[in-house]
């Protein structure tokens, strides 16, 4: 095991993408870290995550990119398709163009692959850093440290450290402990997600391309994952009624088909071949204006959950994770100062992404697309190269290594 250079010991609640990235970034800078996860194993129900270049850069810096490259798909491009006719437009090149412009490509990953390579990286630095079956129930802090309380399977115990990071996702207990309850609002949108064995799809669909279907009251994003063995499908529709913010609620094939009535056969062909149709309601939260109190801070979805329409939630968690490591080092290992630096460096950018994600949602699903005479002009107008650059350039060019902290 490594000898730790500084005495700061950081506790992290939540072993998702953000918690693991933060753990790895801190361990690599010589801090001692323990990460606590409520689940019994690090497993995600099948789902994909797109990693744009700004997130890929973090993985490179953390030393886990080669391991992910062996499992992920590197996107050759992205395209827009029209919900009923299937007409397609090139959105942008993300392969060579991204590498030439920003240094890395755009990866289409299976969430469990991403978690596995991050966890492997953490365990390489500190083999016993990850504690499973450890549900954080609350914390208390004093001028000298933090105590984290767990409640799992009836047993209660505690851990102590110099600082705490709440990386415990959208229903964060740590956020609740800092700022009390948030007030999420149902967006009126339901998301269907499914994973399809690639061999079940026609050959013309088996491509290293990310596809965004746009429609009048919904949109669908699908892309290959896990070395191209599966197609990941995420379809969002406007619907009243279902309001359970859970990632693991199951729906039926009939319900899912009905939500996409009138959509192109390619959409229904994918739904027919889902391993399981999952559904969950999309909620929106006002971005927090403060993340840290004393020795405790938040990162990732715990403080800036967002709608998935810019595909940046996980990427922001990766950026947060890397920057929290830099911030603690810049503060000389002083946890309170480190968390302040981290928050100052990150809050404006992540708030801008929360707002931009909601705006992109309105673009992907617009009533104009219900009027076939206007659809082509709409797509040509909304996805000009200049507009696409303005929407994504500031995201992709962010450099976790050189940004001021
Ligand atoms: C439909 C959809 C598609 C998306 N697509 C993309 C995409 O393509 N690209 C992208 O960048 N982002 C995407 N996102 C967003 C992304 O999934 C999230 O932003 C990201 O997972 C947040 O990571 P996190 O580590 O902050 O939280 P989470 O991934 O939620 O991890 C939190 C962890 O904390 C654990 N936990 C929770 N409570 C406790 C507790 N009390 N004690 C201990 N452990 C606890 C959880 O079990 C979990 O392991 C998408 C989201 C959705 C809904």
Q: What integer pLDDT is reported at residue 307 of this predicted model?
A: 92
* 343-347 long-range contacts, CB within 8 A, separation 24+: 343/290, 343/291, 343/292, 343/297, 345/403, 345/404, 345/405, 346/291, 346/299, 346/319, 346/320, 347/287, 347/289, 347/291
What is the band of 155 on the pLDDT scale with cuts at 50, 70, 90?
low
Residues designated catalytic = 223
Cα of 111 vs centre of ligand 1, distance in Å, is 10
Our answer on whether the CB atom of 162 is closer than 6 Å to any ligand 1 atom is no
Residue whose C-alpha is closest to residue 145's, from 134, 130, 159, 124: 159
The domains of the chain are located at 9-183+285-396
- Which residue, chain included where needed, has tokens 């060579």? 96
Cα of 84 vs centre of ligand 1, distance in Å, is 32
> Looking at ligand 1, which residue's alpha carbon is closest to its atom 29?
16
Any idea which of 31-45, 97-111, 236-250 has the lowest mean pLDDT? 236-250
Q: What integer pLDDT is reported at residue 244 of this predicted model?
A: 64
Q: What integer pLDDT is reported at residue 231 of this predicted model?
A: 97
> What is the third-level CATH fold of 9-183+285-396?
FAD/NAD(P)-binding domain (3.50.50)
How confident is the model over 251-286, as pLDDT tens digits?
999 999 999 999 999 999 999 999 899 998 888 888
How confident is the model over 333-365, as pLDDT tens digits?
999 999 999 999 999 999 999 999 988 888 888
Q: What integer pLDDT is reported at residue 280 of this predicted model?
A: 86
Q: What is the distance between the alpha carbons of residues 149 and 158, in angstroms, rounded to a whole number? A: 5
Q: What is the distance between the alpha carbons of residues 10 and 27, in angstroms, rounded to a whole number? A: 10
Q: What integer pLDDT is reported at residue 3 of this predicted model?
A: 46
* Cβ count within 10 A of residue 157: 10
Our answer on whether the CB atom of 173 is closer than 6 Å to any ligand 1 atom is yes
Most confidently predicted of 30-44, 94-108, 327-341, 379-393: 327-341
Any idea which of 69-73, 208-212, 336-340, 367-371 has the lowest mean pLDDT? 367-371
Q: Which of 169, 247, 361 to mutate to test the pocket of ligand 1 (most atoms within 8 A of CB)?
A: 169
> Looking at ligand 1, which residue's alpha carbon is closest to its atom 17?
314
Our answer on whether the CB atom of 136 is closer than 6 Å to any ligand 1 atom is yes
Average pLDDT value for residue range 67-81: 95
- Chain centroid to Cα 386, Å, comes to 26
Q: Mean pLDDT score of the chain, rounded to an integer? A: 92
Our answer on whether the CB atom of 285 is closer than 6 Å to any ligand 1 atom is no
Q: What is the pTM of this model?
A: 0.95
Compute φ and ψ for 379, nearest 5 degrees: -65, -45
């Amino acid at each position: 095991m490594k000898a730790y250079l500084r005495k700061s010991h950081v506790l992290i609640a939540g072993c998702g993408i953000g918690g693991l990235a933060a753990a790895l970034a801190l361990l690599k800078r010589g801090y001692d870290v323990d990460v606590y996860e409520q689940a019994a194993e690090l497993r995600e129900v099948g789902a994909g995550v797109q990693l744009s270049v700004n997130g890929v850069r973090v993985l490179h810096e953390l030393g886990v990119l080669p391991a992910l490259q062996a499992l992920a798909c590197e996107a050759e491009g992205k395209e827009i398709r029209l919900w009923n006719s299937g007409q397609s437009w090139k959105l942008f090149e993300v392969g060579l163009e991204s590498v030439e412009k920003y240094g890395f490509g755009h990866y289409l990953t299976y969430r469990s692959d991403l978690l596995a390579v991050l966890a492997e990286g953490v365990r390489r630095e500190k083999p016993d850093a990850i504690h499973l079956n450890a549900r954080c129930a609350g914390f208390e802090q004093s001028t000298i440290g933090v105590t984290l309380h767990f409640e799992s399977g009836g047993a209660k115990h505690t851990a102590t450290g110099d600082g705490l990071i709440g990386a415990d996702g959208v229903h964060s207990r740590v956020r609740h402990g800092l700022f009390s309850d948030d007030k999420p609002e149902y967006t009126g949108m339901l998301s269907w997600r499914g994973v399809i064995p690639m061999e079940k799809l026609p050959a013309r669909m088996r491509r290293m391309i990310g596809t965004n279907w746009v429609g009048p009251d919904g949109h669908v994003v699908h892309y290959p994952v896990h070395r191209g063995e599966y197609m990941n499908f995420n379809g969002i529709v406007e619907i009243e009624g279902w309001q359970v913010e859970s990632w693991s609620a199951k729906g039926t094939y009939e319900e899912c088909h009905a939500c996409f009535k009138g959509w192109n056969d390619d959409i229904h062909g994918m739904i027919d071949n889902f391993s399981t149709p999952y559904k969950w309601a999309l909620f929106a939260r006002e971005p927090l204006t403060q993340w840290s109190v004393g020795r405790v801070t938040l990162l990732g979805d715990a403080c800036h959950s967002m709608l998935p329409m810019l595909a940046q939630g996980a990427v922001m968690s990766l950026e947060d994770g890397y920057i929290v490591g830099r911030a603690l080092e810049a503060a000389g290992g002083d946890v309170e100062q480190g968390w302040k630096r981290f928050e100052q460096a990150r809050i404006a950018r992540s708030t801008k992404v929360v707002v931009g994600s909601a705006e992109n949602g309105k673009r992907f699903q617009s009533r104009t697309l219900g009027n076939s005479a206007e659809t082509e002009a709409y797509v040509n107008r909304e996805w000009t190269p200049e507009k696409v650059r303005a929407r994504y350039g500031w995201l992709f060019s962010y450099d976790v290594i050189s940004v001021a902290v």
